[in-house]
Amino acid sequence: MHDIGLHLKKNDKGELGFAVYVGGGQGRTPLIAKKIRDFLPEEDLLSYTTAIMRVYNLNGRRDNKYKARIKILVHETGVEELTRQVEEEFSHLQGSELKLPEQDIAAIGAYFAPPELPDRPEGWAQLAGWKKADEGFARWVGQNVQPNKHPDYGMVTISLKPIGGIPGDASDVQMDAIADLAEEFGHDEIRISHEQNVIFPHVALADLEPLYRALTAHGLETANAGLITDIIACPGLDYCALANARSIPVAQEISARFGAPERQAEIGELKIKISGCINACGHHHVGHIGLLGVEKKGAELYQITLGGSGDENTSIGEIIGRGFEPNRVTDAIETIVDTYLGLRSAKEETFLEAYRRVGPQPFKDALYGDAKAEAA
């Protein structure tokens, strides 16, 4: 979904390089990027990106600000012709002063080198005991902790999505606490995800229980990473001059409705993303359920899209039908969720998998009534 996307990979010789994608974007005209290079050696990254930019600067639309993005150029030119132009430009730049020196690549690699992680095998036995003794801790580990390359460590997501709270929001006290905990348990490293959460990438399994207790003391223990209440939302009309509708109150109401741990577990992975205007800062186009706030006759209205995804199987959500007033949005989401639960083929089938299997019609019928039955 990016103007220029780079997928780090290895070729059959074990060398690092990039698959190069061009022309993605959300906003007014959502488009999925096209792959123009399957493997680009890492030392050519700067020169090849420059070639893309030169082609864009030469041929991009300057006559219409709504069509000035590179995605429009790719769409109008065609991926084959654009690839030919980029490769031709690259042929003049390859091996020039834009080639990345080995020492620069090495320096960048050293800067981002992972910390030395001492073995902590005692964590496995401790973790089993802690999970057995505390259901809340077990739920948090199951949802918010992912494996690290080192078997004695995990990657911890600190959710900034408390039930009924403002998505992605943290107080000054919480931010100070997160910094202190990163020093104590996280090898002094904090990452902020595009999903508006905080990640400690290197936490020993033996430290998970004391970390959880410290997070609980600051209201940061919500176990909902990847679940229906882990909502991405832009600031919306409350804080943004461009917005047409509010995002935060809608997100809070949805979170409160589905906040019960048992309900979230039953639903499983489901990503809701909310934007307060067509600029799509909340990534609604790639939400499993996307909400776009629009203005209609001076009032707020929310358009629903289904089936979007921003992972390696990218898809743009489909507009499901007419929009909903603010006081009807959460009920509409509940109808969509209940429809999914009623038609999934197995408990393991996610919302996105079920939607791709059955298509939009069952959800349209549930939200707006069966058109065929009405006609009859």
Radius of gyration of the chain (CA): 23
Q: Which of 310, 375, 365 is nearest to 343 (CA)?
A: 365
What is the pLDDT tens value at each position of the chain, 376 positions in all?
999 999 999 999 999 999 999 999 999 999 999 999 999 998 899 999 999 999 999 999 889 888 899 999 999 999 999 999 999 999 999 989 898 888 988 999 999 998 999 999 999 999 999 999 999 999 999 999 999 999 999 999 999 999 999 999 999 999 999 999 999 999 999 999 999 999 999 999 999 999 999 999 999 999 999 999 999 999 999 999 999 999 999 999 999 999 999 999 999 999 999 999 999 999 999 999 999 999 998 999 999 999 999 999 999 999 999 999 999 999 999 999 999 999 999 999 999 999 999 999 999 999 999 655 444 4
Q: Is 237 exposed, middle or buried (0-12, 13-18, 19+ CB in 10 A)?
A: buried
Question: How many whole angstroms separate alpha carbon 237 and alpha carbon 243?
Answer: 5
In a 3-state reduction of DSSP, which class is residue 110? helix
In a 3-state reduction of DSSP, which class is residue 330? helix
**Residue at token pair 């039908």:** 321
Task: Please report the DSSP string for 15-82 in residue order.
Answer: -EEEEEEE--B-TTS-B--EEEEEEEEGGGHHHHHHHHHHHHHHHS--S-GGG-SHHHHHHHH-HHHH
| Overall residue count recorded for the chain in this entry | 376
| Residue 282 tokens, joined | 């909340």
Residue 371: its pLDDT value, please?
52
The two most distant CA atoms of the chain are separated, in Å, by 73
The letter for the amino acid at 346 is A
Question: How many whole angstroms separate alpha carbon 310 and alpha carbon 333?
Answer: 20
Residues 226, 232 contacting (CB under 8 angstroms): no
CA 31 to chain centre: 16
Cα separations in angstroms, 9 against 16, 194, 299: 6, 21, 48
Name all domains of the chain by residue range, CATH numbers in brackets: 4-111 (3.30.413.10), 122-217 (3.90.480.20), 232-375 (3.30.413.10)
Residues 332, 304 contacting (CB under 8 angstroms): yes
Question: How many whole angstroms separate alpha carbon 250 and alpha carbon 252?
Answer: 5
**Residue at token pair 């401790």:** 126
Residue 339: its pLDDT value, please?
98
Question: How many whole angstroms separate alpha carbon 285 and alpha carbon 206?
Answer: 40
The whole-model pTM stands at: 0.92
Residue 274: its pLDDT value, please?
98
**Residue at token pair 């390859």:** 94
Give the pairing of strands 4-10 and 232-233.
unpaired
